[in-house]
Amino acid sequence: MHMEPIVHPRWLLARMYEPDLVIVDCRYDMSVPSAGRAAYDRDHIPGAVYADLERDLSGPLAAHGGRQPLPDPQTFADTISRLGIDHETRVVAYDDQGGALAARFWWLMRYHGHTQTYILDGGYSYWRSLGYPVSDAHPPVIVPKRFEVRIREEMLADRQEVYERLYASNTVLLDSREAKRFLGVEEPMDHTAGHIPGAVHAYWRESLDDAGLWKSPEEQRERFAAAGIDPDQEIIVYCGSGVTACANVLALERAGFRKVRLYAGSWSDWISYKDRPIAKGE
């Protein structure tokens, strides 16, 4: 049975102790890398396991590939296996950063062939605001499972493919960063400001409403239409390092866009090449 990728806390509350469900805490602070694990140790949804952005959801840094390169597939599979997850396991991921880190986990799981990964609407803060249970217990005893790699290549675009599609009429590049970074006015994370030429802009946080909950598919379609995105085009989504772009990938797919790919290295990979063109302003 097909399910929406976003689940309400009530759905999780009713199922959180079912044996075929694993809850994954993805909280992470890029300015204080240890803060996510520390937050998990203070309190978390009962039974949740922890996945760290740098250690578990990214690969080692190299000359190219961006600030949070994709992990090696077998290394990722080993990590997921240790968390007690296989392809029959239902998984719910959450964070406290608007869903961007959970969306990274969701995208990685789908890219590696898992079809039953969901994101908790509103994240941990919303869960707590509803008065739902939290725990400071140590991580549960995990029985490892065998997670097999089933890569879906059609979900990914690399730098060369992006370069070859600049200004192509059948392809749109979607920049998911804040407007000031897209415009090249300010760049707090990377050594070069600007955007990929021809890209359109839709800040990933606009996927959420004022309460921090995911907008409906209809509302997502409206915001992407306002950005000039045609559902018939191929859409390649990027951000600074390939993390927050996953939130826009999820929003696009919920809105019914089917030709959506992630440029995983994103801007930080693009500017690592000397021959890359750069645009600023609108």
17 and 119: one domain? Answer: yes
What are the residue numbers of the active site? 239
Concatenating the DSSP letter of every residue in 105-162 gives HHHHHHHTT---EEEETTHHHHHHHTT---B-PPPPP-----PPP---GGGEE-HHHH
Q: Does residue 281 fall inside a structural domain? A: no
Q: Does residue 126 fall inside a structural domain? A: yes
Arithmetic mean of pLDDT, 30-41: 94
Residue 30 confidence (pLDDT): 87
131 and 175: one domain? Answer: no
Q: Does residue 1 fall inside a structural domain? A: no
Among 151, 167, 191, which residue terminates a domain? 151
Residue 2 confidence (pLDDT): 56
12 and 127: one domain? Answer: yes
CA distance 19 to 127: 21
Residue 282 clears pLDDT 90, i.e. is over it:
no
Entry pTM: 0.96
Classified as helix, coil or strand, 171 is strand
37 and 145: one domain? Answer: yes
Burial 237-271 (b: 16+ CB within 10 A, else e): bbbbbbbbbbbbbbbbbbbebebbbbbbbbbbbbb
The confidence band for 1, taking pLDDT boundaries of 50, 70 and 90, is: very low
Residue 31 one-letter amino acid: S
CATH of the domain at 162: 3.40.250.10
147 and 189: one domain? Answer: no
| Interior angle at CA 3, CA 266 and CA 49, nearest 5 | 65
CA distance 81 to 142: 10
Residue 138 confidence (pLDDT): 85
162-209, pLDDT tens digit by residue?
999 998 989 999 999 999 999 999 999 999 999 999 999 999 999 999
Arithmetic mean of pLDDT, 29-34: 91
CA distance 116 to 265: 25
Enclosing domain of residue 182:
154-270
The confidence band for 27, taking pLDDT boundaries of 50, 70 and 90, is: very high
57-88, pLDDT tens digit by residue?
999 999 999 999 999 999 999 999 999 999 99
222 and 211: one domain? Answer: yes
Arithmetic mean of pLDDT, 16-35: 95
31 and 119: one domain? Answer: yes
Residue 191 confidence (pLDDT): 95
237-254, pLDDT tens digit by residue?
999 999 999 999 999 999
Task: Please name the residues in contact with 209: beta carbons below 8 A apart, sequence gap of 6 or more.
Answer: 215, 219
